[in-house]
Structure 1
Amino acid sequence: METPFLSGFVSLIGRPNVGKSSIMNRLVGEKVAIISSKPQTTRNKIEGIITTDRYQVIFIDTPGMHKPRNKLGEYMMKVSREALEEVDLVLYIVDASSGLGRGEKFVIEQLKKVRTSILLVINKIDLVDQDKLNDIQNQYTDMMDFDGVIWVSALTGQNMDKLMDDILKFLPQGPKYFPDDMITGQPTRVLVSELIREKALELLREEIPHGIGVEIDSMEHRDENDVMYIRATIYCEKSSHKGIIIGKGGKMLKDIGTKARQDIERLLGNRTFIELWVKVKDDWRNNPQTIKTLGYE
């Protein structure tokens, strides 16, 4: 008897910076979602895709759930809510090293409205004493019933295979939605802009808040030298931030481009030349037109 093929969509939901992108990248095996030590680094639904001869899983990595403070925050919450309604399974990711505060209670209140099956995934267990894990789990299960609970570490890979096995238990029989060799449904321009933004967040650390957006102005592959030429603009909200992003003698901007180029070349598979510009757009996160221009709608 032929084994049925399983396929479905899985949403990763949780507070900012609990490791959703790290978990998806660990499962998929490729860097398809922006990872940073700063919260709220994922702004779009980014599809990571795993395909084998037995199943295809499409992961929807959503912005961290939080009460919105501006128009961009409202859009991010809209994306998160939509992701809950469109999938076969929700992975609720929490940070074992953080307590259950008001933020988690807000997320749980949203999840109680969902009819989809929900797995509680307790991440970063490498950062806590193992004998405390049951108490951490009980804090969440006392507030809500889940369809399963698993402890993992995206950093070390602990229990990630078991997480994949648990996911498959909830998938229905279905078709292949994407080709075998496709690992993400995101357009290349989106991935490139996210990689540039990731490096900017890494290098700027606490100097610049989250008022950074990246727009790809042009991408052109030149056959004569097999090089991809990319021109991109980094937008910030204040003139003082522009100087910090550029750096003394342009050093910071050059470092951002160099680090981004390394990841982009791995993504595209050929040599890349990046030209970066910095522009100020006052309060752009409250401007619906700019939010749309930067690819967040």
Structure 2
Amino acid sequence: MSTPEGFRSGFACFVGRPNAGKSTLTNALVGGKVAITSSRPQTTRHVIRGLVHRDDAQLVLVDTPGLHKPRTLLGQRLNDLVRTTWAEVDTVGMCLPANEKIGPGDRYLIKEIAALRRKPVFAIATKTDLVTPARLAEHLMDIAAAGEEAGLTWREVVPVSAVAGEQVDLLASLLIDTLPAGPPLYPEGQLTDEPEETLIAEIIREAALEGVHDELPHSLAVVVEEVVPREDRPAEKPLLDVRANVYVERDSQKGIIIGKKGSRLKQIGIDSRGQIERLLGTPVHLDLHVKVAKDWQRDPRQLRKLGF
């Protein structure tokens, strides 16, 4: 099939402090759930690509972990991942939530991005549905000033609400305008190039993070051991067996995840199974086990085993 004349394709990535709304924005632009979204910072650990298909363009969104001051080997690896991604994409969007003041973490990031030079950088004021027009106007002025201070000229400053769907299409068009001419990079209709096992693991991890203590997000990893069709099922009633291990760093955390008489783990299974079934389009039997991998965030061998 020939590519239409003037077709554009390329990569854009969103950066920002942890919990700045990057994953929610990725999902809104793609129109499907490809990135884990949790109210807890530092939940994104993989570079997940979401695909935006248009008649005249294909935009590949790279969702990076939030850049932060690393305290573990895992933290250092996540930061290296972010910087590598910035260097490889065509355009960058810096997410600055409207319901929070621009802080030292934002200024640090803006300074880092300013060093990229010759790359279009958008300032995206996220979560505009949470603030008044007066607060948003003040936030936009602060964004302009912060860019100036770092010697960075924003390509555009775009206020968006991913939750309310406000200005999401406009942002997509502005990002696409910065892409080079070229054919589509992925097949029509595909939403992400992440393996299904990774997406399943992210869904389970998101469910496990809901309503748990602050120390847990960084200590939690999920590995999908197998996804296999149940053999004795008739073709018109398929069932997939999904077996996954939830890893924590200490025995006390294992108790938190399992809950009283297994109630917490059961709820994690219920919350994630529905989403996994929607992702795979098939009924699923989900078998979850909780295991302790002592201090895995600091152990290179364990990090490799857990996919980092």
If the length of structure 2 is used for normalisation, what is the TM-score?
Answer: 0.92
Distance 1:18 1:209 in 2: 16
Aligned to 1:157: 165
Aligned 8 A contact 1:152 1:159 in 2: yes
Structure 1 residue 203 displacement after superposition: 4.0
Give 1:90-129 correspondences, 5 Å limit.
Answer: 90-115=92-117, 116-129=119-132
Where 1:11 maps in the other structure, the secondary structure is strand
> Percent identity at matched positions?
39
| Other-structure match for 1:251 | 263
Counterpart of 1:198 in structure 2 is 206
1:170 matched residue in structure 2: 178
RMSD between aligned alpha carbons?
A: 1.4
- Name which of 182, 187, 210 aligns with 1:179: 187
Question: Which residue of structure 2 lines up, in the alignment, with residue 214 of structure 1?
Answer: 222
Q: Distance in 2 between matches of 1:275 and 1:181?
A: 30
2:265 counterpart letter in structure 1 = L
2:280 equivalent to 1:268 = yes
Which amino acid in the other structure matches residue 17 of structure 1?
Answer: N
Q: Which residue of 1 aligns with 2:150?
A: none
Structure 1: tracts of 5 or more residues without a match: none
Q: Give the number of aligned pairs.
A: 295
TM-score by length of 1: 0.96
SS at match of 1:274: strand
Asked if the contact 1:35/1:41 (under 8 Å) is kept, the reply is: yes
The separation in 1 between residues aligned to 2:69 and 2:128, in whole angstroms, is 26
Letter in 1 for 2:197: R
CA contact (8 A) 1:5 1:55 kept: yes
Is the CA contact 2:45–2:78 (under 8 Å) kept in the aligned structure 1?
yes
Task: Compute the displacement of 1:111 (Å).
Answer: 0.6
Structure 1 residue 51, shift from structure 2 partner: 1.7
* Higher mean C-alpha deviation, range 278-287 or range 126-135: 126-135
- Name the residue aligned to 1:72: 74
Matches of 2:180 and 2:101, distance apart in 1: 34
Q: Letter of the aligned partner of 1:130 in structure 2?
A: P
Mapped contact 2:40–2:217 kept (Cα < 8 A): no
Deviations 1:168-217 (A, max 9, x none): 21111111111112110101110010000000001425473421000111
What secondary structure does 1:143 align onto?
helix
Aligned counterparts of 2:215 and 2:13: Cα–Cα separation in 1: 32
- The SS at the match of 1:142 is helix
Letter in 1 for 2:287: E
